[in-house]
C-alpha cells in the first residue's frame, strides 16, 4: 500500500480553517502536498452574535460558497462538508441536526471514512479547548482526535496529529491588533455579550508557550491567508485588510501559526518549524 500523503484539516465551521491553519495549508499545497479541508458543519448559525432575540441563521449556501472561495485562495482542494448544522454559541440553543446534538460515534465514523478515502499523512484540528470554547470547536477537536486514533491504527493510516493552539504570549498582542484593526475599520459597535464571553474564554483557553511544539512562519503566504479570510465575507463585519497600516497589525497577529504535535509525541524541548510527514522540497 502506498504511503499516506498530504494534510487533512478538520475544522467545524467555514473560516476556522483559514484563521487557524490557512498559512500552513497554503505552504504545504505550494510545496506539492495534497491538502484538503473537511468542514464539519455548514456554519448556518454564523450570523452576527450578541443581540438577544436576534435570528442568527444564515443561508448555509453562503458559508459553503465562502469556504470554496477560501480553498481556492489557499490553493487547496475543494472543501468537503459533513453537513451538520452549526450549533451556535453557548446559550443560543442548538438547532435540530446540529453537531452539538449529533452522536459522537457517528461523527467519528464519518471522519474515519473520509480519512480512509483521502489517506492524508497528517491531520490538523483544534486543540481540546477549541481556542474559545465554542461547543462545535470542542466537539470537533474530540471527534477528529478520536478519528485520527482509529485511522492511524489501520494500514496506510495517517502518521501525525496536530492541534492548532493559541499561545498565551500572543493574547495581548492579538487583542491589541484586533482593537486597532476595529478602530481603523470604523467598527464602533461596542463588544456584545458574546464578544466579551469569547474574549474571556480566549484568554483562559490559550496554551502555555512551553506546550507549543510547532511554530510555522507563514509570511510568504500571508497574502493567500488574508485573501482566504476575505472570502468569509459574512463573518468579517465589514473588515477590510488591504490598508497597509492595518496589514502591519495583521502581520503581528497572523505571521505565525502555532500547533501542538499530539502524535507522535515529540521529545521534551523538541521544537519544529514545519510539521513532520509532509514534503517540503527545500521550502
Binding-site ranges for Zn ion (CB under 5 A) = 13, 16
In whole angstroms, the minimum distance from the beta carbon of 131 to Zn ion comes to 8
Closest approach of Zn ion to the CB of residue 130, in Å: 8
The residues with which 98 forms a beta bridge, in sequence order, are 85
d(CA 68, CA 214): 27
Residue nearest to Zn ion (CB): 13
Q: Which three cell numbers stand for residue 115?
A: 480519512
Report the residue number, 33 or 235, with the smaller CB distance to Zn ion.
235
The least distance separating Zn ion from the CB of residue 249, rounded to whole angstroms, comes to 22
Closest separation in Å from C-beta 106 to Zn ion: 20
The reply to whether omega before 264 is within 30° of 0 (cis) is yes
Quote the least distance from Cβ 43 to Zn ion, whole Å: 8
Comparing CB distances to Zn ion, the nearer of 13 and 232 is 13
161 CB neighbour count, 10 Å cutoff: 25
SS3 15: coil
Nearer to Zn ion, 131 or 218 (CB): 131
- Evaluate whether 8 touches 21 at the Cβ level (below 8 Å): no
| Residue number, 119 or 137, with CB nearest to Zn ion | 137
User: What cell was used for 207?
Assistant: 496554551
Q: In the complex with Zn ion, which residue's Cβ is closer, 16 or 66?
A: 16
d(CA 193, CA 52): 9
Amino acid at each position: 500500500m502506498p504511503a499516506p500523503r498530504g494534510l487533512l484539516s478538520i475544522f467545524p465551521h467555514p473560516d476556522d480553517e483559514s484563521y487557524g491553519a490557512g498559512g500552513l495549508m497554503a505552504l504545504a499545497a505550494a510545496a506539492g502536498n495534497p491538502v484538503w479541508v473537511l468542514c464539519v458543519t455548514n456554519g448556518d448559525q454564523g450570523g452576527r452574535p450578541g443581540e438577544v432575540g436576534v435570528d442568527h441563521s444564515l443561508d448555509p449556501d453562503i458559508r459553503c460558497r465562502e469556504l470554496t472561495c477560501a480553498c481556492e485562495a489557499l490553493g487547496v482542494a475543494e472543501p468537503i462538508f459533513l453537513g451538520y448544522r452549526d450549533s451556535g454559541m453557548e446559550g443560543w440553543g442548538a438547532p435540530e441536526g446540529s453537531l452539538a446534538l449529533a452522536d459522537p460515534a457517528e461523527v467519528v465514523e464519518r471522519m474515519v471514512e473520509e480519512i480512509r478515502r483521502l489517506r492524508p499523512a497528517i491531520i490538523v484540528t483544534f486543540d481540546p479547548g477549541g481556542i474559545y470554547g465554542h461547543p462545535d470547536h470542542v466537539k470537533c477537536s474530540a471527534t477528529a482526535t478520536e478519528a485520527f486514533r482509529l485511522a492511524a491504527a489501520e494500514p496506510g493510516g495517517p502518521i501525525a496529529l496536530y492541534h492548532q493552539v493559541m499561545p498565551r504570549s500572543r493574547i495581548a498582542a492579538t487583542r491589541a491588533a484586533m482593537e486597532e484593526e476595529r478602530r481603523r475599520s470604523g467598527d464602533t459597535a461596542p463588544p456584545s455579550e458574546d464578544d466579551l464571553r469569547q474574549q474571556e474564554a480566549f484568554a483562559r483557553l490559550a496554551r502555555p508557550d512551553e506546550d507549543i511544539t510547532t511554530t510555522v512562519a507563514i509570511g510568504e503566504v500571508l497574502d493567500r491567508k488574508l485573501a482566504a479570510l476575505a472570502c468569509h465575507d459574512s463573518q468579517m463585519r465589514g473588515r477590510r485588510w488591504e490598508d497597509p497600516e492595518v496589514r502591519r497589525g495583521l502581520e503581528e497577529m497572523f505571521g505565525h501559526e502555532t500547533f501542538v504535535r499530539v502524535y507522535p509525541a515529540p521529545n521534551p524541548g523538541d521544537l519544529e518549524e514545519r510539521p513532520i510527514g509532509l514534503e517540503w522540497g527545500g521550502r
